Structure 1
Amino acid sequence: MTNFDKDSFSLKGKVALITGGAEGLGRNYSIALSMYGADIFIVSRTQNGWDEIRQIITDNGQQAGFLKMDITEVGAAEKIVQSVIDQFGHLDILVNNTGMQIRNDVLAFEDADWQKVINLNLNALYYLSHEAAKVMTKQKSGKIINIGSMQSYRAGKFIFPYTASKHAVLGLTKAYADALAPYNIQVNGLAPGYIKTNMTKALQDDPVRGPEIKEHIPSGEWGVPEELMGPMVFLASQASDYVTGVMLPVDGGYLLR
């Protein structure tokens, strides 16, 4: 980018592929990017939330596309990216959002659970990025945004595969950023802190951990999903063209302590 103006954050004419973009935090990413002019393509394992998010995207003046698929299936990445190209003709932004977490004690952790989390959180992200890169390198432009976690930096003694996968996402973000920079493709990540969602409700309500976490956050409050929307738009837009290989914590300062 040579000039900065109000259009630097515009996503007009861009197409964003968001995994799990109809529910949870992914829904907020879909809303944010469509607000700034991107057409949205969502892939998810179920059709939960599709009707609602389609309406919101349409109300924002943008087009929505959907594909029901398990992104861990062999060959899924190629089918997903081809579906985006078939509908929109190009792919400019990939948000690797889908993830899962399984908790267990160290000695009780099962192999099947390890494989399940690694396949979704890490392998699917790698293959989708790889497939998107084939399109973006030809265009000589693109943005890949990976969703990390506080566990990209910290230990999680009950969530081994999750911690391993999120550390690996940080590494992959850097590796892809380095490899794709000559093609004008920026690869960055967002690392949400402790955000108030349905998934974290049990933790928020925990009489011990809830207050502990709150006390650990310098701002003194858990985050809300809307606080991730601005950083997402920034990383998807021209405004961040000279930012690559970064995992941006959106955590109220949690990692400072």
Structure 2
Amino acid sequence: MTDTLPTAYTHELFGLDGQLAVVTGASQGIGLAIAEALAAAGADIIGVSYDIPAGESAVRTAVEDRGRTFTPIRADFADRAAVTALAADLAGREVDILVNNGGTIRRTPAAVHSDEDFDHVMDVNLRTTFVLSREIGRAMVERGHGKIVNTASLLSFQGGINVPGYTSSKSAVAGLTKALANEWAAKGVNVNAVAPGYVATANTKDLRQDTDRSQEILDRIPAGRWAEASDIAGAVLFLCSRAADYIHGAVLPVDGGWLAR
């Protein structure tokens, strides 16, 4: 046996040539890294975000520099009518891969966590994931193939502190992933999720700037560092690839070993 696999074999497993991928929350952070990774593997990208520019952007550059096409779509995931319209649009585009990465967080103690904050987080993180998965997934089922990867969280497994809406939404995303996989696995559609740990993105800026809290987090992570967005993108690429064809309903922690402690 050779020490390395032939290039043709690895490309057969992980190449996405000619596929069309939708990545939500694509304008920055994890979403940008995912779009870049999928484009590098050969996919054309539709990037969705509430603030994504129609013209030049970091994500457009990352995708087009790899020779793939990039289409930006603006959508506010807190606007139910906008999400419904987006889902109908995308369902008609023969999407091969859907990455439900867009999300938000509101940090307040449970005793003062408002209805408005709770509803906002649930709409953005959970309802949008369901509506897009339902509409695009229906079209995938009709064609007999497709990959859906949702973004869960460590807080799909744990309770967290001061984030009751976020924890509720991400626990539900994990459950939704399994429910959809149960229905669609036999129809050629893989539905899985990644569960990122503590990632150095805008969402964790406040935590990273709190010296004591940041050190507490690092002390708990066996890998000894915060994740980079590219760490999450690699796991998503795997779940979108042929290498993951027999994986259904998995919620894959990408956490530097946090949950193993």
State TM-score, norm by structure 2. Answer: 0.91
Rounded Cα–Cα distance in structure 1 between residues aligned with 2:211 and 2:43:
42
| Counterpart mapping for 1:101-250 below 5 A | 101-250=105-254
8 Å contact from structure 2 (residues 106, 121) kept in 1: yes
Larger deviation: 33-42 or 47-56?
47-56
Distance of aligned partners of 1:66 and 1:24 in 2 relative to their CA distance in 1, 3 Å threshold: same
| 1:58 pairs with one of 59, 64, 79 | 64
SS at match of 1:138: helix
Determine the structure 2 residue equivalent to 1:20.
25
- Confirm or deny: 8 A CA contact 1:98 1:120 kept in the other structure: yes
* Residue aligned with 2:211, SS: coil
Q: Which ranges of 4 or more aligned residues in structure 1 deviate by more than 2 Å? A: 47-52, 71-86
Alpha-carbon deviations, 1:93-149, whole Å to 9, x = none? 111101111011222111111110011111111111000111101110000000011
C-alpha distance after superposition, 1:38-89 (max 9, x if no partner): 0000111112595221122111111111111213433444532444466xx4
CA shift digits 1:228-252 (9 cap, x unpaired): 2221111011110000100111111
Matching residue of 1:68: 74
**Partners of 2:159 and 2:56 in 1: CA distance:** 35
Q: How far apart are the structure 2 equivalents of 1:163 and 1:50?
A: 34
Letter of the 2:189 partner, please give it: I
Distance 1:189 1:9, change over 3 A: same
3-state SS of 1:143 partner: strand
Aligned to 2:5: none
Equivalent pairs, count: 252
Hey, what does 1:35 align to over in structure 2? 40
Amino acid at match of 1:193: G
For residues 79 and 5 of structure 1, the distance between their equivalents in structure 2, rounded to whole angstroms, comes to 40
Q: Secondary structure of 2:203's match?
A: coil
Number of the residue aligned with 2:4: none
Q: 1:9 maps to which residue?
A: 14
How far did residue 197 of structure 1 move? 1.9
Q: Does 1:254 align with 2:254?
A: no
Q: Where do 5+ consecutive residues of structure 1 fail to align?
A: none
1:77/1:131 contact within 8 Å kept: no
- The question of whether the paired residues in 1 share the 8 Å contact of 2:77 and 2:123 is answered with no
Mean Cα displacement is larger for which, 234-243 or 221-230?
A: 221-230
> Sequence identity, in percent?
37
Q: For residues 111 and 82 of structure 1, what CA distance do their matches in structure 2 show? A: 29
